[in-house]
Amino acid sequence: MSSRTQKLFVFFICLFLSGLSPIAFAQGNEDGNTVTEQNAGVANEETTTQALSESIDAQFGFIVENMAKVLFWVPVQAVPIPLIVLILFCGSLFFTIYHKWLNIRGFKHAIDITRGRYDNPNDPGEISHFQALTSALSATVGLGNIAGVAVAIHTGGPGAVIWMMLIGLLGMTAKFNECTLAMVYRKVRPDGTVDGGPMHYLEIGLQERGFPFPVAKAFGLVFALFCIGGSFGGGNMFQANQATSAVRGMLGDVAGINWVFGSVLAFLVGLVIIGGIKRIGQVTEKIIPLMCGIYVLAGLVILVIHIKQVPDAAVLIVRSCVSPEAAYGGFIGVLVQGIRRAVFSNEAGVGSAAIAHAAAKTDEPVREGLVAMLGPFIDTVVICTMTALVVIVSGAYNTPEAGQGVEMTRWAFSETLSWFPTILNISVFLFAYSTMISWSYYGEKAWQYIFGTTRTAIIIYRIIFLGFIILGAVASLDNVIEFSDLMILSMAFPNIIGGVILAPRVKTLLEDYWRRYKNNEFVVYD
Amino acid sequence: MALHVSTVVVPIDFSVASTGAIETALEIVDSPSQLHLIHVMLPLETMSPGVLLGDVTDVSRTEKVTTALKKLADDHDADGAHLAVMIGTPGLEISDYAKRYEADLILIPSHGYHGMKRLFLGSVAERVLRHAPCRVLVLRRTDNE
């Protein structure tokens, strides 16, 4: 760490430790009075912090509400599906049909590639296929799988799960399309590092398809803007919010806990992204697959214990997906909730994972696309479905005291395995942490696309990113989810439209690759 | 040419313009050994997949860039040129290097950044001009980045 970065970091930490507490505790309460008396007491402090949190949340809510009017525009009032949800669904369906159900026919080959059968260490890139998948999963497997599913069931009813699974399956081919494109148009720098992602393939690819430079650049810029927003929203605030919620569930409503925990999280993320302490990030990334395994295993244990209720739960899910209760907004309401939460969780069509997959060591773009395809399957079809079944068989979804979001999932697990919440809380923290680190990378790549790679530009981004962690811990779940959805789903606008325009290029590559694969022309390394 | 120099620093970012600068530099010096081809890498992003999961380190990056510089020198008949790789802010590192090796000239192509990138990134050439301890020859770049 250079002395300059060190100074910045120390300054930043001091700002946190010294600045936040006075802001949180000494600012005026809602009446405008300032708490100055020494014996103001815990009750007063609590009101003050709460008032500040509420005021921030209210302002944030105002911004979100106005953004939603534009970004979640509903084209046909009679069918209340926001345009972006329609684009995501139709886009994923298009890619699946256009690439001739590659999500099914390419599944086994994708697993073989991930196992390392075709790994050539001399190929250009930074990481193996398996590592690329792990990296992308560490960004997607997170609170979307634990809390997001509970949110989907809470707002869309059990039927939303079917739509989550469906969009998970269709999303596999959307993910294939975008990650293959990211590989085709990535830049390998002379130092061996890689720069790739939708902003690059949109800019270069669309020009190749005959679009004028300003149009292609606009696609790249719009994507990059939403990606930066996504890195502050779903990749950050939502994680911080739900991790804080998990801690609050453990410790109870201690005064100022949101501020304190938010600052601790920001500090820990800052250690890696500003402090340059890569070891922490490395360890976290390596623990994530293990935590996923433990989570799925615990889910399985609960399902085995409740085996008698599983068929009923399945029937409930299927029945409420086709004849949903009016309380959840009818059929369309359930569909929209299912798609929103699934895409939020697996990010298929969103283009974010393409930034990580572009780093894979291979000279076959299609091969990495196939590996990427497994992401939505593991994330949504396996992990989200597991959470959903646990939430339903435990009865948490219709128990008001179970709470919402991560609290509902925790209630569901603890109902059968009373000791599990501790492990769940650790998982929540680690998932949130690794997702934030991965997303800070995505956001920074998008930021660099717009503002360049100078140190000043990069440090500004990183500091804003840390600020959003605290904001996420303080704001309410509703506003955080709305903002996060807005940003992450909006990334799909340029990405899916561009992806459809560039799909013929992917198809040509896929057909050539598939022919060579069927003719056994590939070198096998195991 | 009236310009007599013994040590010329040519920053290389591996763009066509910067490799073209090697040819211009060879016209100025008597022998390729008077050339210093240098590349400045940006600091590693600790949250990148290559660092967290792969084996990307500053050592591995330096090795790769050195190999690329060597090949570049060979391809441009600049065998014998000094090669150096640094990490940091390009403009400052280039000027520091020139100071350290008492260079007479820095030969650098100008970039064609516009809009936001120009605002934030400025240009390496501009920064070198501001900090350089010696004369700087900026080559006009014809293509846009």
Q: Is residue A411 part of a domain?
A: yes
Average pLDDT, chain B: 84
The C-alpha atoms of residue A338 and residue A151 are separated, in whole angstroms, by 10
A444 touching chain B per CB within 8 A: yes
pLDDT in tens, chain A (526 residues): 444 444 455 445 444 444 444 333 333 333 334 334 444 454 565 566 677 777 877 887 888 888 788 777 787 777 778 888 889 999 999 999 999 999 999 999 999 999 999 998 889 899 999 999 999 998 888 888 888 898 888 888 888 888 899 999 999 999 999 999 999 999 998 898 999 999 999 999 999 999 999 999 999 999 999 999 999 998 999 999 989 988 887 787 777 888 999 999 999 999 999 988 888 888 888 888 888 888 999 999 999 999 999 999 999 888 888 766 656 667 788 888 888 889 988 999 999 999 999 999 999 999 999 999 999 999 999 999 999 999 999 988 888 888 888 889 989 999 888 888 888 888 888 889 999 999 999 999 999 999 888 888 899 999 999 999 999 998 888 888 888 888 898 999 999 999 999 999 999 999 999 999 999 999 888 6
User: Is there a domain that residue A33 lies in?
Assistant: no
Residues of B in contact with A191 (CB under 8 A): 41, 61-62, 64-65
B120 touches chain A (CB under 8 A): yes
Size of interface A-B (CB pairs under 8 A): 99
Whether residue B50 contacts residue A126, with contact meaning beta carbons closer than 8 Å, is answered with: yes
Q: Would you state the structure tokens that stand for residue A396, as one six-digit string?
A: 């948490």
Residue A34 in domain? no
CB contact, 8 Å: A362 with chain B?
A: no
Residue B39 lies in a domain: yes
Which residue would you say has higher pLDDT here, B87 or A485? B87
CATH number for position B81: 3.40.50.620
**Which bin fits A47, alpha (ψ -120 to 50), beta or left (φ > 0)?**
alpha
> Vertex A516, ends A513 and A521: CA angle to 5°?
130
Cross-chain Cβ contact A190/B39 below 8 Å: yes
Specify if A409 maps to a domain.
yes
**Per-residue pLDDT, A29:** 37
Whole-number pLDDT of residue A47: 66
Closest alpha carbon to A164 in A398, A342, A296, A428: A342
Within 8 A by CB and 6+ apart from A291, the residues are A426, A427, A430, A431
Please report the ipTM that was assigned to this predicted complex.
0.82
Kindly state whether B75 is in contact with chain A, defined as any CB-CB distance less than 8 angstroms.
Answer: no
> Which residue from A minimizes the CA distance to B58?
A191
Question: Burial letters for A274-296: b for 16+ Cβ neighbours within 10 Å, e otherwise?
Answer: bbbbbebbeebbebbbebbebbb
**What is the rounded CA–CA span in Å between residue B142 and residue A91?**
40
Decide if B51 touches A, using CB distance below 8 A.
yes
Contact B117 A193 (CB under 8 A): no
**What CA–CA distance (Å, rounded) separates A82 from A494?**
16
Q: Radius of gyration over alpha carbons of chain A, in Å? A: 23
Cβ distance A396 to A196 under 8 Å? no
How many angstroms separate the CA atoms of A226 and A208, rounded? Answer: 24
**A192 close contact with B: CB closer than 8 A:** yes
DSSP state string for A498-511: HHHHHHHHHHHHHH
* Residues sharing a CB contact under 8 Å with residue A297, sequence separation 6 or more, in sequence order: none
Question: Does residue A144 belong to any structural domain of this protein?
Answer: yes
- Structural domain span for residue B22: 8-139
Domains: count for chain B = 1
Q: Tell me, what CATH number does A231's domain have?
A: 1.20.1740.10
Residue A19: what pLDDT? 40
Residue B115, pLDDT score: 54
Backbone φ and ψ for B40, nearest 5 degrees, come out as: -110, 120
Does residue A125 fall inside a structural domain? Answer: yes
Residue with the two structure tokens 């921030």: A56
B73 domain residue, yes or no: yes
**The domain containing residue A378 runs over which residues?**
3-24+44-518
Q: Does B39 touch chain A (CB under 8 A)?
A: yes
- A contact test, residue of B40, B52, B65, B71 with most A CBs within 10 A: B52
Please give the structure tokens belonging to residue A506.
């992917």
Q: Characterize A114-135 residue by residue with b for buried, 16 or more Cβ atoms within 10 angstroms of its Cβ, and e for exposed.
A: beeebbeeeeebbbbbbbbbbb
Q: Is A281 on the interface with B (CB under 8 A)?
A: yes
Is residue A30 in a domain? no
Q: How many domains does one find in chain A?
A: 1
Task: Determine, yes or no, domain membership for A37.
Answer: no
Residue B145, domain member (yes or no): no
* pLDDT, position A37: 44
Nearest CA in chain B to A437: B47
Contact flag B116-A278 (C-beta cutoff 8 Å)? no
**pLDDT one-digit tens code per residue, A225-269:** 999 999 999 899 999 998 998 888 778 777 788 899 999 999 999
